[in-house]
Amino acid sequence: MYAGRRVFLYKRAQILAADVWAAYGRQTGGESPFAFRDMGRLTMFADYRVPQLLLPLGVLRYSEGLEARVRAGEELPAGGEEEVEIRCASVQAVERLRAVMGGGLLSVELDWLLWQRGEEQKDALPPHHRTRSVCY
């Protein structure tokens, strides 16, 4: 719940669709029975690594209080406003980055690139937010 509204972030479902799409060659058009014609409707996978990467780049900002809690390794409640804000802000940031970049890169593909960069740099990045959830 966020501000009295249910917010759905289908991270695992999106990962499944993206993995199947990738396994069948990332086809998005044509007559192939393996083409996924709606991959552009998926967002990035709202998780923890991408915001961890976007923070030091200045793409995302946390309030001073939230930043202190994350740096201290404090667990944020699953489904709490701060966790939902981080995840939704990450989705919005990736959408805006993709729009600025142009070139036809899908959000899913940009997520993969950012995730990989985050994995490569994880030891040099600030701590990521921590939330116990079935969504991670």
* Exposed e or buried b per residue across 87-103, where buried means at least 16 C-beta atoms within 10 angstroms of its C-beta: bebbbebbeebbeeeee
Contact 9, 87 (CB under 8 A): yes
CA distance 125 to 128: 8
Q: Based on C-alpha coordinates, what's the Rg of the chain?
A: 16
Contact 90, 54 (CB under 8 A): yes
CA distance 40 to 125: 29
| Residue in this structure with the two tokens 């991959």, named with its chain if needed | 39
Q: Would residue 47 show up in a list of annotated catalytic residues for this protein?
A: yes
Out of 19, 47, 111, 123, pick the active-site residue: 47
Please list the active-site residues. Answer: 47
